[in-house]
Amino acid sequence: MIQGLMQQQPLMISSIIEFAERWYPDVEVVSRTVEGPIHRCTYKELGKRARRLADSLKSLGISAGDSVGTLAWNGYRHLELYYGVSGSGAVLHTVNPRLFSEQLSYVINHANDKVMFADLTFVPLLEALADQLPNIEHYVIMTDREHMPETTLNSVICYEDLIKSGDPDYQWPVFDENSASSICYTSGTTGNPKGVVYSHRSTLIHTIASSIPNGLNLSGSDSVLLVVPQFHVNSWGVSYAAPMNGCKLVLPGPAMDGSSIHDLLESEKCTLSLAVPTIWMMLTGFLRESGKKLPHMKRVVIGGSAVPEAMIRCFEQEYDVQVIHAWGMTETSPLGTLNFLMPHLQELDYEAQMPIKLTQGKSIFGVDIRIVDDNNNPLAHDGIAFGRLQAKGHWVTSGYLGDEDNKAVGSDGWFDTGDVATINPDGYMMITDRTKDVIKSGGEWISSIEIENLAVGHPAIAEAAVIAIPHPKWDERPLVVAVIADGQEIDKTKLLSHLAESLAKWQIPDDVVFVDELPHGATGKLNKLKLREDFSDYKFPTT
């Protein structure tokens, strides 16, 4: 076979920051810092600091393949670590501070982190865990000398002192593109969290694919507010995609309330932002209370859990901001599908478009999806059949760190996501439930997600979760657990009547319980495992 006569270069994460330094040197990275002030730098300046950091890692005993942990908010120093650590050949482990303490010590030890970089916020957290972290040789506090705290941690280093010792002209090494670049752990709602190890190759391909028009549609005209944490699945890839496309990047630090988010959207003229639904609930609540608008925003990307119809309508009809509904997971780097309307669907009126907007969208090139039955037989893409959602592709995991049995992927190469979904004839996928959350009632499956979205669609409901409760006749029946919005009043009869307008009679929940708040996991998703535990003794009034 004739070989192509094209140059071939390993796909290196360092090439992204090199590109941004050279071709977008004056584009800003704006950060709200833990210390308080807004920090501004350019990609040229950030690139030099990332080089200094990469060089200075040697003084900490870090070499290629070693794991380096971070406990940090979204900020310019964390972004420097994204490039300095991975670019040097070491492996970046972004630790989710919202994990339980036992899970935190587990993932840090399991990843064999040798050095831990931490924002000031998380110093007390590390002090409480230090005696459980025998492999950590140095703690680097991500601040300057003026703000260094007193601490009981051993071998503490000031971040700004560390990078001053590094060479700003450090040359990025070139090595095997399949080398590990970063590690993220699943949230671990059942059992210990699992480590997903990304490569330079998978990360670069994911970054390119996520940038295209049918992806995040990024360009140098965008100012991107990255609300999704940098410790969530490599910040959904945006910490790589923004520099690659010359986007202005705005990082909110620890301030995640609606007012603080709006301030940055306004002051930095952000055109795009990405976050989970709970963040957007806070923002839209603030907007309605304050009367403020979103004059610069063009689109929001919402993932992590299904987007309620009311949220889509709020952004698109009240604020003229396009909603991009996305699906993915730690094991898919994370992007799997994104929702954009095909031309024949754009011709429909808004109400006819809404059922499509509520889906998680279509695959982007590089990842494939399918639905299968319990015997692993592929099911039709007819919008009716629903089954286990599976994925495979260039940035889908092939196994978990330290999992010698490697049961993550089947012999046919497909990864089972744990979601239940349908795919319609146009290729739009819709998650109907998690495998463990679907409600099996009288031989029929009821989607908890559909009921949750309808419940939140009522103006008096701030948040809702639906779980299965054992039933002597029907096996399981749905229970709604809801939080009433501030200043609103509603009883269960009114909420059930609201649900009955859109559900078949057999799908209507048997009861509603109102609570002050719902439990959430480390990634901001509803923690239904905890909710099922809380309601393990619950009995329906009718039984």
Residue 330 tokens, joined: 């730690």
Task: State yes or no: is 331 an active-site residue.
Answer: yes
The catalytic residue among 186, 271, 284, 337 is: 186
53 and 115 assigned to the same domain: yes
pTM for the structure as a whole: 0.88
403 and 450 assigned to the same domain: no
Helix (H) / strand (E) element for 29: namely: strand 28-32
In contact, 96 and 232? CB cutoff 8 Å? yes
The catalytic residue among 164, 440, 494, 539 is: 440
Task: State yes or no: is 440 an active-site residue.
Answer: yes
450 and 384 assigned to the same domain: no
460: Cα within 13 Å, side-chain hemisphere: 10
The catalytic residue among 18, 80, 316, 331 is: 331
**What is the reported pLDDT for 543?**
63
401 and 515 assigned to the same domain: no
Residue with tokens 């001053």: 164
524 and 424 assigned to the same domain: no
CATH number for 399: 2.30.38.10
The last residue of one of the domains, among 434, 456, 484, is 434
Q: Which domain holds residue 87?
A: 14-200
| Residuewise pLDDT in 10s, the chain (543 residues) | 999 999 999 999 999 999 999 999 999 999 999 999 999 999 999 999 999 999 999 999 999 999 999 999 999 999 999 999 999 999 999 999 988 899 999 999 999 999 999 999 999 999 999 999 999 999 999 999 999 999 999 999 999 999 999 999 999 999 999 999 999 999 755 578 999 999 999 999 999 999 999 999 999 999 999 999 999 999 999 999 999 999 999 999 999 999 999 999 999 999 999 999 889 999 999 999 999 999 999 999 999 888 989 999 999 999 999 999 999 999 999 999 999 999 999 999 999 999 999 999 999 999 999 999 989 999 999 999 989 999 999 999 999 999 877 778 988 999 999 999 999 999 999 998 887 787 878 777 788 888 998 999 999 999 999 999 998 888 889 999 999 999 999 999 999 999 999 888 889 999 999 999 999 887 777 888 899 999 999 999 876
316: Cα within 13 Å, side-chain hemisphere: 18
Q: How many domains does the chain have?
A: 3
In contact, 482 and 453? CB cutoff 8 Å? no
445 and 430 assigned to the same domain: no
Asked if the structure places residue 500 within a domain, the reply is yes
What is the distance, to the nearest Å, from the Cα of residue 499 to the centroid of all Cα atoms in its chain? 30
Query: What is the distance between the alpha carbons of residues 90 and 65, in angstroms, rounded to a whole number?
Result: 5
80 and 182 assigned to the same domain: yes
**Nearest to residue 15, comparing CAs of 215, 126, 165, 177?**
177
Q: Look at the chain and count its residues.
A: 543
**What is the reported pLDDT for 278?**
85
Phi, psi (rounded to 5 degrees) for 536: -65, -25
Asked if the structure places residue 271 within a domain, the reply is no
For residue 540, the SS3 value is: coil
The last residue of one of the domains, among 411, 434, 457, is 434
Helix (H) / strand (E) element for 530: namely: helix 528-534
For residue 118, the SS3 value is: strand
Strands 415-423 and 429-434: antiparallel
**What is the reported pLDDT for 190?**
59
Query: What is the distance between the alpha carbons of residues 186 and 287, in angstroms, rounded to a whole number?
Result: 33
178 and 36 assigned to the same domain: yes
Asked if the structure places residue 526 within a domain, the reply is yes
Query: What is the distance between the alpha carbons of residues 109 and 87, in angstroms, rounded to a whole number?
Result: 23
Strands of 35-107, DSSP E: 38-42, 67-71, 91-94
In contact, 177 and 86? CB cutoff 8 Å? no
Q: Is 385 exposed, middle or buried (0-12, 13-18, 19+ CB in 10 A)?
A: middle
Residue 218 tokens, joined: 């990024």
Task: State yes or no: is 445 an active-site residue.
Answer: yes
Strands of 128-253, DSSP E: 138-141, 156-158, 180-185, 195-199, 223-226, 248-251
The catalytic residue among 445, 476, 492, 525 is: 445
Asked if the structure places residue 226 within a domain, the reply is no
The last residue of one of the domains, among 389, 415, 434, is 434
**What is the reported pLDDT for 255?**
96
Question: Alpha helices, DSSP H only, in 347-465?
Answer: 350-357, 448-456
